[in-house]
Structure 1
Amino acid sequence: MDTIIFDFDGTLFQTEKLVIPSFEKTFARLQAEGYYIGKKFSEEELLSVIGKTLEDIWQTLLPHLSLEAHKKANDYMLHYEIEGVSEGYGALYPQVIETLLQLKNQGYRLFVASNGLETYIKELAKAFRIDHYFEAMYSAGEFETKSKNDLVKKLVQDYSIENGVMVGDRQSDVEAGKTNKLFVIGCDFGFSSKDELKNADVVIQSFDQILAVLNG
Structure 2
Amino acid sequence: MVKTIIFDYDGTIHNTLGIYEPAFREAYQWLSEQNVVEEQKIETAQIAGWLGLNSKEMWDTFLPELDQRYKDQASAIVGDSMVRQIRKHRAVWYPGPYLVIGDRRQDLECARSCKSPFIGCLYGYGEKGELDGADYFVKSVEEITGII
TM-score relative to the length of structure 1: 0.46
What residue identity is the alignment partner of 2:32?
Q
Give the aligned partner of residue 6 of structure 2.
5
Q: For residue 37 of structure 2, what is the aligned residue in structure 1?
A: 36
Across the two proteins, how many residue pairs are aligned to each other? 117
- Which structure features the higher share of strand residues? 1
Structure 1: runs of 5+ lacking an equivalent: 105-109, 112-121, 137-216
Q: Is the 8 A contact 2:23 2:82 kept in 1?
A: yes
Output the CA distance in 2 between the equivalents of 1:133 and 1:96.
18
- Aligned partner of 1:54 in structure 2 is 55
C-alpha distance in 1 between matches for 2:77 and 2:119: 28
Shift of 1:73: 1.3
The Cα of 1:132 is off from its aligned counterpart by 6.2
Amino acid paired to 2:110:
F
Q: Summarize deviations over 1:109-147 as a string: whole Å, max 9, x none.
A: x79xxxxxxxxxx96x565337965747xxxxxxxxxxx
Q: Deviations over 1:49-76 (max 9, x none)?
A: 1111111111122222011111111111
Q: 1:126 to 1:30 in 2, by over 3 A?
A: farther
The amino acid that maps onto 1:86 is R
Mapped contact 1:12–1:96 kept (Cα < 8 A): no
Superposed displacement of residue 8, structure 1: 1.2
**2:69 counterpart residue number:** 68
Residues 92 and 128 of structure 1 are in contact (CA less than 8 Å); yes or no, is this contact kept in structure 2? no
User: How high is the sequence identity, in percent, across the aligned residues?
Assistant: 19
Q: Work out which of the residue numbers 100, 110, 126 in structure 2 matches 1:128.
A: 110
Deviation at 1:94, TM superposition (A): 1.8
The 3-state SS of whatever aligns with 1:41 is coil
5+ residue gaps in structure 2? 113-117, 126-148
CA displacement 1:19-64 (0-9 Å, x = unmatched): 1111111111121123322422100110011111111111122222
Report deviation, 1:4.
Answer: 2.1
